[in-house]
Amino acid sequence: MSITEQATSEHVDMSEQTRAMYPDDQGHIERDGVRVFYEVYGSGEPTILFCPTWTLVHSRVWKMQIPYLARHHRVIVFDPRGNGKSDRPRTREAYAEAEFAQDALDVLDATGTDKAIVVGLSRGAQRTLLLAAEHPERVLGVVFIGPFFPTSRSVSGLRWRTMSHRWTVPAFLRKPLTTRGWAKFNAVHWRTDFRDFVEWFAAMTTSEAHSTKGFDDVVGWGLETDPDTLTLTVLADAAAPVTRRDQLALARRVQCPVLVINGTDDKITGLADAKELATAARGRLLAIEGGDHAPMGRRPVEVNLAIREFSDPSFRRDPAVHRSDDRPRALYVSSPIGLGHARRDVAIARELRTLVPDLQIDWLAQDPVTRVLEQEGERIHPASVHLANESGHIESESAEHDLHCFQAVRSMDEILTANFMVFDDVVREQRYDLWIGDEAWELDYHLHKNPSRKCAPFAWMTDFVGWLPMPDGGEHEALLTADYNAEMVEHVRDHPQVRDRAIFVGNPGDIVHGDLGQDLPGIREWTERNFDFSGYVTGFDQAETGDRERLRVELGYQPHERVCVVAVGGSGVGAHLLRRVMAALPAAKKLVPELRMIVVAGPRIDPATLPAGDGLEVRTYVHDLYRHLAACDLAVVQGGLTTAMELTAARRPFLYFPLRHHFEQNFHVAHRLDRYRAGRRMDFDHATPEVIAAAIADEIGRDVDYRPVETDGARRAAQHIAELLD
């Protein structure tokens, strides 16, 4: 099941998807038989308490804020009664605003918190107002986001004041004459077609363009509650108190500092109401231009920095401008999805130092990239320990030789945001003369969303362009990938100053044919217009591996042996392929008696979980794997670009098995290998051990006729990047 399908499934617990950070503590408070679930992260002061919003969603709505703020503060979140891991009481009195405010107090007590900065979203503004006005000794300051504060004479204010009155209850409980627009806000319609309402409300909440992931999140969270529970929340006190006069009076009782954040295009609670609240509470208004009702999800960098600045007066959001010496410095971010980026990036870094001899390069990196960097003696920035695990997420999204790459990256949004905030902290505290990102999607995306955060030249590298749908994804997946591509095109068009260099690791012929989506440019046309080309970067000196016989002696391979190396990269996704190939060994040895199979499990697969066998060796991480690939008689690999191109450069025969639903391996990599006339593509679904054994026998030691792989890609890439230091 895809992530998109999961997001609209009534049986999926969205709170259990992979997180960027997990709580240090969690528990329940209980009052009047109702249990309310809370989580605690971090240890810094002051504590920040995120109050729940309307019961339609739960505390995962703060997923973009928690990892960043918990590195600097102690953060507490709790699920509203009626959703998430909290109980769903069956009386409307249980959902009065005073009950939610008391839940907040009880959570503060249970976590030993005397005072906190309190953040409230949408309807959460009501319980937050009660908390700040009636318990000022517990509240250091308040941040309101898209607040439900129906006091203005705007359409939004009038609508919510009308819907909050008791005389509207009969209409809310009767079958509506229509179910269009706001008429969907009706108890009968909810019981008839709850999904329709949830999807409509999610679309209203996440109305900013290209918000498909936020929409799916809200739908998924909404379907974790039920129409009867949600009806009770409306029948309870929708505002405390209800009238405009009393709302303003309540806000004026707030004595602590106040920040109000609101999108200018909020379709749920309008900007006019936010202005009224900021004025009444003597606070500051931050209007996010073009923002919708959920800016903490769509504009997390802006919201995170605003909350941090509000909570910590000593915080300086501007980037660093001074440093201790004049030596040029570069910050390098290399994608941890596999090991290929690390090897080519080290090669580029070496060439950069040749062109700029006094250049200091710091790496913001995580496992398994750090293993390569440590072996090469590179400098790893200490802040790297704070990066959320991208490889672990990719592995968690995989099944038996199946990884829906697009959906896996799409569901990694909170991890990418958390890692960008680590990067932002690093460049705020120390000035660099150059930023380099090799498929560091978090940098490219969030710098385009927040171009004011850019304070150094930025070089962006990738070996593919264009998110592509898998055929069985249908029209929906085609629309999603096109939407992601459209946002990329708009980013580059609207903010050309963000990418000072965009380098395609390859040649124009390596780019797949087709369009980025309906009414979007052709992939090759757009890439040629917006990228420089370095040619392929192998990450090693091909001359070093030219003497195969010498290399085989150095690696301990005997002249009579036919060596088959099986490797699936560093992400941990390839365990099923390893087992399938290992199962083929007995049949393969009957066909090739001198066969010796060496299985490289990689850094994320425990060799103890793999089977043993005669003529079989299992190794863990091998630093210079390219040497073994160059010396072998055959390789069996997954479908990743790096290993396949290393084999192509070494002119070795190989079998490759693209992961199911991995669009890059099935389209981008396969196209490039076809162009180089390299490798034999295999279908995992039909490759029984007997089929694999026969293919091994056919291919091992075969003479190949590959297109030559260029040897100067690292130098050419480094030349493009070095120009930014002139």
Band of pLDDT at residue 572, cut at 50, 70 and 90: low
pTM (two decimals): 0.94
Question: CA–CA distance from 486 to each of 141, 161, 385, 528, 682 (Å)?
Answer: 40, 39, 34, 17, 33
Band of pLDDT at residue 608, cut at 50, 70 and 90: confident
> Are residues 396 and 249 both part of a single domain?
no
**Number of domains making up the chain:** 3
Q: Which residues of 97-117 are buried (b: 16+ CB within 10 A; e: fewer)?
A: bebbbbbbbbbbebbebebbb
pLDDT at 165: 63
Q: Hey, what amino acid is at 658?
A: P
Tokens 């959906």, residue? 407
pLDDT at 320: 74
> Are residues 585 and 532 both part of a single domain?
no
CATH number at residue 108: 3.40.50.1820
Band of pLDDT at residue 169, cut at 50, 70 and 90: confident
pLDDT at 4: 31
CB neighbour class for 126 (10 Å; exposed up to 12, middle 13-18, buried from 19): buried
- CA-to-CA distance for 301 and 76, rounded, in angstroms? 19
Say if residue 479's pLDDT is above 80.
Answer: yes
pLDDT at 290: 97
- CA-to-CA distance for 59 and 52, rounded, in angstroms? 6
Instruction: Say if 589 falls within a structural domain.
Output: yes
Instruction: Say if 166 falls within a structural domain.
Output: no
> Are residues 285 and 149 both part of a single domain?
yes
DSSP letter, residue 305 = H
Instruction: Say if 324 falls within a structural domain.
Output: no
Band of pLDDT at residue 543, cut at 50, 70 and 90: confident
> Are residues 529 and 637 both part of a single domain?
no
Query: Mean pLDDT, to the nearest integer, of 584-599?
Result: 95
> Are residues 363 and 502 both part of a single domain?
yes
pLDDT at 16: 54
> Are residues 355 and 492 both part of a single domain?
yes
Say if residue 159's pLDDT is above 90.
Answer: no
Asked if residues 229 and 112 have their Cβ atoms less than 8 Å apart, the reply is: no
Q: Which of 264, 285, 311 is the last residue of a domain?
A: 311
- CA-to-CA distance for 631 and 650, rounded, in angstroms? 8
Tokens 């179910």, residue? 179
CATH number at residue 576: 3.40.50.2000
Instruction: Say if 164 falls within a structural domain.
Output: no
> Are residues 273 and 298 both part of a single domain?
yes
Q: Which one, of 81, 48, 94, lies nearest residue 67 by Cα?
A: 48
> Are residues 59 and 146 both part of a single domain?
yes
At 359, is the secondary structure helix, strand, or coil? coil
> Are residues 300 and 427 both part of a single domain?
no
Say if residue 164's pLDDT is above 70.
Answer: no
533: which strand partners? 504
pLDDT at 570: 55
pLDDT at 11: 35
Asked if residues 347 and 361 have their Cβ atoms less than 8 Å apart, the reply is: no
Percent of the chain at pLDDT > 90 equals: 81
Give residue-wise pLDDT tens across range 26-76. 999 999 999 999 999 999 999 999 999 999 999 999 999 999 999 999 999
- Strands (E) located in 199-278: 258-263
pLDDT at 157: 76
pLDDT at 168: 74
> Are residues 561 and 681 both part of a single domain?
yes
Helical residues (DSSP H) of 603-640, grouped into ranges = 625-631
Top-confidence residue, 127 or 318: 127
Query: Mean pLDDT, to the nearest integer, of 193-217?
Result: 98
* 339-348, 442-451, 622-631: which is most confident: 442-451
Instruction: Say if 364 falls within a structural domain.
Output: yes
Instruction: Say if 24 falls within a structural domain.
Output: yes
Mean pLDDT of the chain: 92
Query: Mean pLDDT, to the nearest integer, of 265-273?
Result: 95
Six-digit token pair at 120?
């409230």
Say if residue 100's pLDDT is above 90.
Answer: yes
Instruction: Say if 123 falls within a structural domain.
Output: yes
> Are residues 287 and 376 both part of a single domain?
no
pLDDT at 8: 37
> Are residues 341 and 282 both part of a single domain?
no
- Strands (E) located in 146-231: none
Supply the range of the domain harboring residue 623. Answer: 545-699
Instruction: Say if 469 falls within a structural domain.
Output: yes
Total Cβ atoms within 10 A of residue 318: 9
